[in-house]
A and B are shown apart, each in its own frame.
Chain A
Amino acid sequence: MSEWPAQLKVLGTRVPRVDGPAKVTGQAKYTSDVLPEGVLIGMILRSKWPAARILKIHLDKARQMPGIKAAVAVQDGPRQVRYYGEELAAVAGVSRQACEDALRAIEVEAEPLPFVVREEDARKPDAPRVWEQAPNMPPPRVQETGNVDAAFAECAAVIEGFYATPVQLHHPMETHGCTVLWNEEGITAWASTQGIFGVRDGLAGALRVDQSKVRVITEHMGGGFGSKFGPGVEGILAARLAKEAGAPVKLMLSRFEEALAVGNRPSSFQRIKLGAKADGTLHAFEFENYGTAGVGAGQATEGGGGGADLPMPYIYRVPNRRLKQTTVAVNAGSSRAFRAPGHPVASYGMESAMDDLAVKLGIDPLELRIKNDPSEIRQREYRIGAERFGWKEKYRKPGSSPGPVKTGVGVASATWGGGGSNRTQGEVQINPDGSVEVRLGVQDIGTGTRTVAAVVAAEVLGLKPEQITVKFGDTRFPPGPGSGGSVTSPSVAPTVFDACTKALDQLQKQTGIPDARGENWHVACKKLGVTPLVVQGQWRQGLSSSGVGGVQFAEVEVDTETGLVTVKKIVVVQDCGLVVDPLTAESQVNGGVIMGIGFALYEERVMDWQTGVVLNPNFETYKLPGLADVPEIDIVLLNMPERGVIGLGEPVHIPTAAAIANAVANALGVRINSLPITPRKVLAALGKIPAPKTPAA
């Protein structure tokens, strides 16, 4: 049972984000806004070759350019680069114009090498090797349970399908980068990061400086989605430039660079065979998958690493199953964690197969899910969602929608952990004037973590959230986790609760006032005299838990004459334990859904197999959903205070693309077997234009 008070005053109410006013007025200082005295601009020279042996980099001319204060090579001596956009050198100068000129003055002696950027090319035995010591595609890792071959023979219906997803780019609105000051006291880095301590340790390790001499500050940052852990090559280069120049250096990547070198979601090529008994009970599952993690793949071990493995058969229980998964290396930037790594991709493959199987069995796809989903929470979410969505009234046999603009509906589900980190620490300071400061070494990546901390402190101390000053994003504060895995709220909330409970206790003991809250607050605080009360707290059991479900329903319209898919409505039913702040929680749900719409319909990194370059490294060619693309989003948050706080950011993104893909298949009566579902693919599936070349399975 949860240790949260039974009667909550602030938790669960709609509290506007505490840093909202600073953000809407432009006063919030993001990493890219930090301008220390005498700051220089840093820029990176990147490889124009997808693969090359770099023999020598001549920096002398660049160093002599007007306004240039430092120039460094990533590595002295010969080396190899393995993708278009890999870092070669960097310069720092008085303006970005000076740096642009200097980058053009750097001469690079290089021998271009053969390369390969398409997965289907890279897996061929005679393909150029991305890593010399290992084949691009190592043998798959095989996991087997039960007797798969015998089980398929026992099935009443079996489907075989192929489902593919592209490489997706993170594209946070604020690019990667930092401003670094390196003086006799050590290194101070203002970093756009999801993990200040990770950046600190990364810089200290790479630059051989004591961790105690590195301070990382992230007051506000413009999104990360999994791609902003660690200092990155750009952070280390900024520090080296700062040292050489003897001045702070601000090095923020351009949008173009953002598409090349700072992470992506691996692609997938999933071959699924799924069989069920006549009553719809899943019985046998066979899965073969590979995807690319760019140069992040290619280890000689089985499976190849790089994060392209999928948790299959995802949320369903299938007694007999065989999984064969591997990764293929290509000459492209490495993958990184991306909002619920593996899950949206697994959800797309598995939920597509489920719908295809339902069609073959002749049963309602929602019924098939209810039959085979072992989660009690999701069972409840299916019921709530179906009623809210009007599933019974809206579901029709695939392709039976009349007219040229066809409507369709689909459903898909999620699972996620989202528990807290038990090593989180924090402190609270109660001042004699009654003001309160909460300090934690975590960062707010846009999920509203500051507000979560303020809400919890206000609840315990009997104050209002706006009376709490929350100080985040500094490695001088007690350590907290990186913002990934939806762990931040379930780490922060129990820690703040612990610190504030102890602080209130001590305040009451010290002042002899039995209940210092409410009207006694200022009297009690005044009794502290001149010394503020500072109390440490740490994460503790009983205030958070882990493991959420989540179900989403989608309704789409597909114009069979233009091929355009329009999402009309998404119904989200999501649990996240105790809902701390419904207002900010809903925002995260909106965000997960909208990013899912992008994954379903628009987003794909396109590479040119002949030149090895990324063809769409900017927003005018890599399309994100805009305001007019957003449907009605109907959100049901299942409040479960007894479970304590659980993270929400990732599960809400997982099933959207799968639900939309199923809705499109339901509208058309034919499955488009790869994301994004573009008008071209729709028209090709309808036989109205020739089929585009699809990757080999």
Chain B
Amino acid sequence: MKYALFPGCVLRGAASEAFLATVKVTEALGIDLVEIPSWTCCGASHLQDVDDLTALAVNARNLAIAESMGLPIMTVCNTCTLQLRRAKESLDTDPALKAKINAILAKSGYEYKGTAEVTHLLWVLASNPQLLEGKVVKPLTGLKAAGFYGCHLLRPPTIMNYEDSLNPQSLEKIIRLLGAEPVNFDFKLKCCGFHAFWTAEKDVMKVTGQTVDSAAKAGAEVVVTPCPLCQLQLDMYQPEGRTAIQTSAELPILHLPQLIGLALGMSKDDLGVKRHISAADKVRS
């Protein structure tokens, strides 16, 4: 199983532990990842606010490079997944737009064909549970894990159509395969607020606090998310979130590949958990 990896900026920066964990876990599971050379930022759901055609062209270029590698694309960030899939959807359903974008790309020698699918680590694992068979050497027995999906892996459902956006099951499926117990909580499918941090900070801190509080009240010992941006928001700003809603709830927030890594027998340090801000010491070693 081989994919062209689109890491996205955050895995090369603030969430570099997610990059580390992704590389180690995919290697252990026999998933071959080749990083897309010279990839650019996907625009992170902000670039299109300046210019939609530029956002489309930039992602068409990312997709075109992966196409030339002859591989499907795997991402580990919800927002990157949405931006790439959205670009692909726009180009594949509108021949005139595709021609317009290809005229732009041609100036740099690229061509978008539409041959590479875009998927996410969570979807690959949920569709291929056999990859985990025999690999879970340290099952997370008894661990209550709250799966926080993050908006951009579910919505809009016309583009993010891997599973039912109102009742997704992929994350719970992986949590169970690792031996842990999925916890249902009210904020499971809600928004972490990351993308509005700079413009609606007070409101964002409130939802950050509510999300962690909701998971804690449902009995979770850990929150796990397939999105590094949700992880950053819920981890980095947990102290402000607590203040915003006057709660004492404090939980570790793990990247999906970190939780998998723990069940594969890797150590907390191997998976970069010590880089986290909130309750890293509460993560089982």
A and B from one complex: no
Q: Using a CB–CB distance below 8 Å, which chain B residues touch chain A?
A: none
Q: Using a CB–CB distance below 8 Å, which chain A residues touch chain B?
A: none
